[in-house]
Structure 1
């Protein structure tokens, strides 16, 4: 049974982390919950971690040494229990290592440590991946948090005033997604205006995948200017996703992405998959923060 661990900042900001998947299930401040509820009528997760692959694998499997290993979409980490290795009032570190639940799918020794820290208005994560085996470790890592839409008034509609703002202008083209969640080499246009994407539920027949993004942060911005911001360290790909009728929006960061349709090669040569040398360690970081609306007085000062 999953344990839920509450960590608390000095200003009363709290987060709750489940040992199942090391998944954040609550981020609460100022009387408001900012993580999606996990309502199974729409999507029964909150903010899962994705490892050792991101997205779908061709034929539902990955190939290692010429042998096929079954691999679920987004890997297995989100569905396995982690062990708590350190804990303080405002931080917790959880660990996943290879074992009987992972080796039939991914024949590699590894150590995945995720440290969550809560501070005034922030929820910060430091992720370390260690190759504890004798051969190179192919991996991808992703974070898939979702937030209520709307979260600060207004409506979830094309004219509701919600948008995603990026640090830098991004290409207004994203890969089409084919059968089984595999990426296609064709692209479709999205109404990205420089660094601003006006939100419309009708956009989301599939995830909007920004491969090799120019930005290291993006924010989900409400009509009043308040925002939920996701800032990353060493996550080159960003994505925005929801379901057309679901009252949430997911801002995602990935080191890798789904297979291209038709790929039949080794996992180590999968596009965007990382290779970590034996005994090597890799660090990745994600920070969620809440930005208050700018008052009219401050804006004109």
Structure 2
């Protein structure tokens, strides 16, 4: 996408994409998917401030918590909230069709107050009959390396195909470690780990599993995962250059977040420059990095060959 492309005027606070009987609604604030509907089935959850006031925020230029809510650059400190600032910024629309759109966020004086780097983030959504594809192009128009982390944080209805929450599980195509890092009370990542009931590439789900904290699979072997009901209905996440997964909900909430990250929160005790933080990417001046995530819905198939 050309960097000098003029924004397209939009008369609403969101865009609606359609493909057959599938629909997606994308907010201009945060370029956040608000609705993903396949065959009249809503798959993204509707926010409830009692649990969580977002639906599917984009995490940029940080993922997770920074120590003391600040980053350090060349000996100076800058305020930085959890997961960065992209989710609260208004994106420009620079391309649009019936089933696709590209939204753009650039650095400006407000972003420089907390993140003194030049960047351009293009987010392209394409809606297919059974899938919502998200592509992220991060450009560095500056003269020094750009440190960044990127993540997606979609909250899916749980349950999304009926039944109890305990009838759902996560499935991985490759073997994964059955342990996750212990997260400190301030959101930082400790060096300690705890076991999770992951066996034979399957993680049974229950609200109790998330009573302590989010589950983070760092450096996952699998490039995808499936959030599945016992009847075969599933939401699949297929990732391109997102090496970490995280799973989170609040006990009693009717959603499950299936997150994909390039980076993660500060390690406990980290006091270095943001460019030295483990898991941060450094993008050279003039370069562009591409990341992508596809959400794909798989309907259950019954004896008559159709979804019930």
> What CA distance in whole angstroms lies between the structure 2 residues aligned with 1:95 and 1:237?
24
Contact 2:95 2:101 in 1 (8 A): yes
For residue 275 of structure 2, give the secondary structure of its aligned residue in structure 1.
Answer: helix
Kindly state the Cα deviation for residue 294 of structure 1 after the two structures are TM-superposed: 3.5
Contact kept? 1:17, 1:25, Cα under 8 Å: yes
Residue-by-residue CA offset, 1:152-193 (whole Å, 9 max, x unaligned): 11112xxx3110111212100100010211111100100001
Please give the per-residue CA displacement for 1:185-239, whole angstroms capped at 9, x wherever unaligned. Answer: 1001000013100001111121100000000111110121100111100000011
Deviation of 1:2 (Å): 7.0
Matches of 2:294 and 2:240, distance apart in 1: 9
Number of aligned residue pairs: give it.
294
Q: Give yes or no for the alignment of 1:58 onto 2:67.
A: yes
- Residue in 1 that maps onto 2:25: 16
For 1:65-104, list aligned pairs within 5 A.
65-104=74-113
**Partner of residue 244, structure 1:** 251
TM-score normalized by the length of structure 1:
0.95
Match of 2:177 among 142, 146, 171: 171
Query: Aligned Cα RMSD in Å?
Result: 1.2
Of the three residues 29, 32, 35, the one matched with 2:41 is 32
Within a 5 Å distance, the mapping from 1:120-159 to structure 2 comes to: 120-156=129-165
Q: 2:276 aligns with which of 269, 272, 278?
A: 269
The offset of 1:101, in angstroms, is 2.1
Going from structure 1 to structure 2, the CA distance change for 1:36 and 1:199 (only over 3 Å counts) comes to same
Alpha-carbon distance between aligned partners in 2 of 1:289 and 1:215, rounded to the nearest angstrom: 16
Instruction: Write the distance in 2 (CA, Å) between the matches of 1:245 and 1:107.
Output: 40
Name the SS for the 1:128 alignment partner: strand
2: CA distance, partners of 1:72 / 1:130: 22
SS in 2 for 1:102: helix
Is the 8 Å Cα contact of residues 211 and 236 (structure 1) preserved in structure 2?
A: yes
The residue aligned with 2:7 is none
Q: Post-superposition shift, 1:273?
A: 0.2
Segments of 5+ residues of structure 2 without an aligned counterpart are 1-10
Residue among 14, 17, 25 paired with 1:7 = 17
- Structure 1 segments of 4+ aligned residues over 4 angstroms from their partners: none
Equivalent residues of 2:140, 2:285 under 8 A apart? yes
Task: Give the whole-Å Cα distance in 2 for the aligned partners of 1:32 and 1:129.
Answer: 32
The question of whether the paired residues in 1 share the 8 Å contact of 2:22 and 2:40 is answered with no
Shift of 1:296: 4.8
TM-score relative to the length of structure 2: 0.93
Secondary structure at the residue paired with 2:235? Answer: strand
Counterpart CA distance in 1 for 2:21 and 2:176 is: 36
Q: In 2, Cα distance between the equivalents of 1:230 and 1:109?
A: 30
Distance in 2 (alpha carbons) for counterparts of 1:209 and 1:228: 19
**Alpha-carbon distance between aligned partners in 2 of 1:38 and 1:161, rounded to the nearest angstrom:** 23
The C-alpha deviation readout for 1:37-89, integer Å capped at 9, x for no partner, is 01112111000000000000011111111111110000000111100001000
> What are structure 1's unaligned runs of at least 5 residues?
none
